[in-house]
Amino acid sequence: MKTITYNDIEFTIVKSGKGWEIARKLTDGTLAQVGAGLFEGVADGEAEARAVALVKTVFPVGIKSVGPDVTHPNMVGDLKIVGPDVAHPNFIYWSKDSTSFAR
């Protein structure tokens, strides 16, 4: 069993049968299943690396920046102020593995 902490969340990565299980430790101490039966037939080291990559993808560290609502312009008197058309929200990543302050 391997335990990792990412974004202040504790995860366990356990080999179970032919595959691997990833669980997230909740604040009350119980475990919530993230995935089961993953990476069957992959070497142990490679499976652990893939599990860590999966955790970082499913629980990203960053902020979501959504552009202005172009379907409802801001009115200033009789002027319609329409922001730029942002078809897709942006996700800003940073290189830290945690959103908390340094301890």
* Rounded Cα distance, 20 and 31, in Å: 15
- Mean pLDDT score of the chain: 76
Domain ranges of the chain: 2-60, 63-93
Comparing CA positions, the residue from 17, 16, 93 lying closest to residue 59 is: 93
Residue 77 burial (CB count, 10 A): 5
For residues 26-50, average pLDDT: 86
Q: What are phi and psi of 51, to 5 degrees?
A: -65, -45
How is residue 8 written in tokens?
């202040």
What is the model's pTM?
Answer: 0.58
* Rounded Cα distance, 2 and 21, in Å: 11
